[in-house]
A and B are shown apart, each in its own frame.
Chain A
């Protein structure tokens, strides 16, 4: 906890000061050991809250602090960082893979891998999906990456349209660590998704597979545990790549 207080003090100093500050000045002003100060600065740099000038080695506030309210991970970067893990998920599950993040109150498809059966399919990267009616969206909602929409539109008979029911569904996602969608957006279609975490464990996206209900679920509409396992493994691999595990 002490280190959080110290980090806050450093940020205040950098925000209040004029121009860049050197390690020595920061440590001296806060009456901290240089080693301790350096450790905190390194972590703050890692999360983008502090930047270090390449030439002088002095520190200043990072762009990430100024954009704290915005989505903090560039969508194209999310795609680049997850591409190596999305491919094996498609191969192992035999289904199409999508990665989503929140944009304009909906789930933006950031990355799409075709179902690996070499049939004709069209890339739908850039498409916006309803949050409450998709596995990707429900995972994003469950971990507070977004607020539920004001109006819960019905797409099929199975779409969750009551706020109470949605809250229960999101509770279930949090308990299980993954979410589903069973004919809630399109008849005959199901999906399974799990959260992608970035620095500090913050959920920055969701990865999932989708396909016909009869392939993804058993006769009682329960997703096959094997497929759930593949989705969660992929989500963990991307998260580890994004640095989630390090914190």
Chain B
């Protein structure tokens, strides 16, 4: 019998990956392509949805070729995607209306301020489980509809469709299926997170015609068969990338958590079928839903800028020529020299939710070298993790005893040690750092019976590395105090126009 495989499409913020996995959840081949980031104005971030789809079409055969397999050997394809990024397209032609507006985009900050005082704002936040912020699709969709002449009318008539990235990809893969999954839908502010249906009140609040919304489906279910990219293969799953990583880390039991370190970093704690409302600046979000079963929920601590701070250091300051060199540079000094960088580039997300905050570098003296700055860059990720872990512990009443990590930044030993040091708990990396893709593959494989059950998947999880805390408590307390003072200095920077 010929061996069979599962393929994941990980449509991320900076790149798209296509990865082939075997039965043990091990990576067999990978094809990856970056797409262009458009920054038309300060604070604006856009992607070309057409370019992204073309990348998927190109990467699919490449990944199979690198694995030495045919489409016939692929049991299912799963999709994980950057969340909240908003795509609109013409139902008839399939052509995108303008560029996709990316989750990091802050053009809606004025609008969000206004909406916060509009009648019904409290209820919309309550129903969606999310605070009003530029981060989510609802305000963004409102903005696009307001700023494109005639668009709202076309949307009313069902001529223009809305989707997040997985919706756009499934539409193109299947040739016209307009669907989303519960995890992605739960990031729009338009979904009632309890009933898992579009909320007419929220749509009304954001001025969004319901005719343009995709059908909401469970995350782990056969969505349909692909006609292009993987002709004939069943699409077995779609999940937001962070939920996919939670699945890839096999956090199937309430109380299990992971943090994924990529462009941003996201700590998700599985809370089970009961929805827990956040009291500490976290988000209530859907973790996943298996077809025919109740949805599982999670509490999420979202950090907007972590890996992208390293990218900024590389591309804008040009102090290093590749991201991993940040560690080499940071190791040229023993400590941060009293310098702190708070990367509030898109405001601050969890647990602060301050959209008017902007980044600061504090503690500068003539003593500071680029080595100290590199340390401060890595420490910013560690301290931001500490803030969301503290919020998580306070919110859930549980105390995190180890942190499961994944994502590209886990290749950074100094950073992982620093996370263990500031959290004062061991940090563990599983035998798979591409857990976003792995989670999408697991979910899709489960939907088509490639894997039999969640236990089957759990058996594939193994510890690949572990960092033990080694920081003096007095040092930790002092540094945390400094970090918090630095964070306060970012507040209230953007003044209302």
Residues of B within 8 A of A74 (CB): 322, 324-325, 328
Q: Which of A66-102 contact B (CB under 8 A)?
A: 74-77, 79-80, 83-85, 87-88, 90-92
Interface size class for chain A?
20 to 34
Q: Which of A116-130 contact B (CB under 8 A)?
A: 116-118, 121-123, 125-126
Residues of A within 8 A of B433 (CB): 83-84, 87
Residues of A within 8 A of B463 (CB): 114, 116, 118
How far, in Å, is A195 (CB) from chain B's closest CB? Answer: 21
Alpha-carbon separation in the docked complex, A125 to B411 (Å): 12
Q: Considering the complex, give the chain A residue whose CB is closest to the CB of B461.
A: A118
Residues of B within 8 A of A231 (CB): none
Alpha-carbon separation in the docked complex, A157 to B108 (Å): 72
Whether A106 sits at the interface, judged by CB under 8 Å, is: no
Q: Considering the complex, give the chain B residue whose CB is closest to the CB of A87.
A: B431
Q: Which of B312-352 contact A (CB under 8 A)?
A: 321-328
Q: A113-B465, A116-B462 are in contact. Are A87 and B26 (CB under 8 A)?
A: yes
How far, in Å, is B316 (CB) from chain A's closest CB? Answer: 11
Residues of B within 8 A of A76 (CB): 324-328, 411-413
Which single member of A75, A77, A118, A125 contacts B462 (CB below 8 Å)? A118
How far, in Å, is B304 (CB) from chain A's closest CB? Answer: 22
- Mask: chain B, 188-215; 1 = CB below 8 Å from A; 0 = not: 0000000000000000000000000000
Residues of B within 8 A of A87 (CB): 26-27, 431-433, 464
Q: A75-B328, A76-B327 are in contact. Are A88 and B465 (CB under 8 A)?
A: no
Q: A87-B26, A87-B464, A90-B464 are in contact. Are A80 and B434 (CB under 8 A)?
A: no
Which single member of A77, A91, A117, A125 contacts B413 (CB below 8 Å)? A125
Contact B27 A84 (CB under 8 A): yes
Alpha-carbon separation in the docked complex, A85 to B431 (Å): 10
Residues of A within 8 A of B326 (CB): 76
Contact B26 A114 (CB under 8 A): no
Q: Considering the complex, give the chain A residue whose CB is closest to the CB of B468.
A: A122
Contact B411 A91 (CB under 8 A): no
Whether A197 sits at the interface, judged by CB under 8 Å, is: no
Alpha-carbon separation in the docked complex, A88 to B23 (Å): 12
Whether B408 sits at the interface, judged by CB under 8 Å, is: yes
Which single member of B410, B412, B465 contacts A114 (CB below 8 Å)? B465
How far, in Å, is A52 (CB) from chain B's closest CB? Answer: 13
Whether A232 sits at the interface, judged by CB under 8 Å, is: no
- Mask: chain B, 431-463; 1 = CB below 8 Å from A; 0 = not: 111100000000000000000000000000011
Residues of B within 8 A of A114 (CB): 462-466
Residues of B within 8 A of A75 (CB): 328
Whether A112 sits at the interface, judged by CB under 8 Å, is: yes
Interface size class for chain B?
20 to 34
Which single member of B26, B325, B411 contacts A88 (CB below 8 Å)? B26
Whether B185 sits at the interface, judged by CB under 8 Å, is: no
The dominant DSSP class at the B interface is mixed
- Mask: chain B, 16-30; 1 = CB below 8 Å from A; 0 = not: 000000001011101
Contact B411 A80 (CB under 8 A): yes
How far, in Å, is B203 (CB) from chain A's closest CB? Answer: 42
Residues of B within 8 A of A113 (CB): 431, 464-465
Alpha-carbon separation in the docked complex, A185 to B467 (Å): 26
How far, in Å, is B164 (CB) from chain A's closest CB? Answer: 27
How far, in Å, is A76 (CB) from chain B's closest CB? Answer: 4
Alpha-carbon separation in the docked complex, A123 to B462 (Å): 15
How far, in Å, is B402 (CB) from chain A's closest CB? Answer: 13
Residues of A within 8 A of B413 (CB): 76, 79, 123, 125-126
Which single member of B24, B324, B325 contacts A91 (CB below 8 Å)? B24
How far, in Å, is A177 (CB) from chain B's closest CB? Answer: 20
Residues of A within 8 A of B431 (CB): 87, 90-91, 113, 116
Residues of A within 8 A of B27 (CB): 84-85, 87-88
Among B327, B411, B466, B467, chain A packs the most CB atoms within 10 A around the CB of B411
Contact A123 B467 (CB under 8 A): yes
Q: Considering the complex, give the chain B residue whose CB is closest to the CB of A88.
A: B26
Q: Considering the complex, give the chain B residue whose CB is closest to the CB of A85.
A: B27
Contact B322 A77 (CB under 8 A): yes
Contact A77 B464 (CB under 8 A): no
Which single member of A80, A85, A112 contacts B408 (CB below 8 Å)? A80
Residues of B within 8 A of A117 (CB): 462
Contact B26 A77 (CB under 8 A): no
Contact B465 A77 (CB under 8 A): no
Alpha-carbon separation in the docked complex, A114 to B429 (Å): 10
Residues of B within 8 A of A121 (CB): 466
Alpha-carbon separation in the docked complex, A74 to B331 (Å): 13
Contact B324 A116 (CB under 8 A): no
Alpha-carbon separation in the docked complex, A30 to B10 (Å): 47
- Mask: chain B, 290-324; 1 = CB below 8 Å from A; 0 = not: 00000000000000000000000000000001111
How far, in Å, is A155 (CB) from chain B's closest CB? Answer: 26
Q: Which of B374-432 contact A (CB under 8 A)?
A: 408, 410-413, 431-432
Alpha-carbon separation in the docked complex, A4 to B168 (Å): 48
Alpha-carbon separation in the docked complex, A123 to B324 (Å): 19
9 residue pairs A–B, Cβ–Cβ below 8 Å: A75-B328, A80-B412, A83-B410, A87-B26, A87-B431, A87-B433, A114-B466, A116-B464, A123-B466
Given A79-B413, A84-B27, 18 more contacts at CB 8 Å? A74-B324, A75-B328, A76-B327, A76-B328, A77-B324, A83-B410, A83-B411, A87-B27, A87-B433, A88-B27, A91-B431, A114-B464, A116-B463, A122-B466, A123-B466, A123-B467, A125-B413, A126-B413
Q: Which 4 A-B pairs have the closest CB atoms?
A: A116-B462, A76-B324, A80-B411, A80-B324
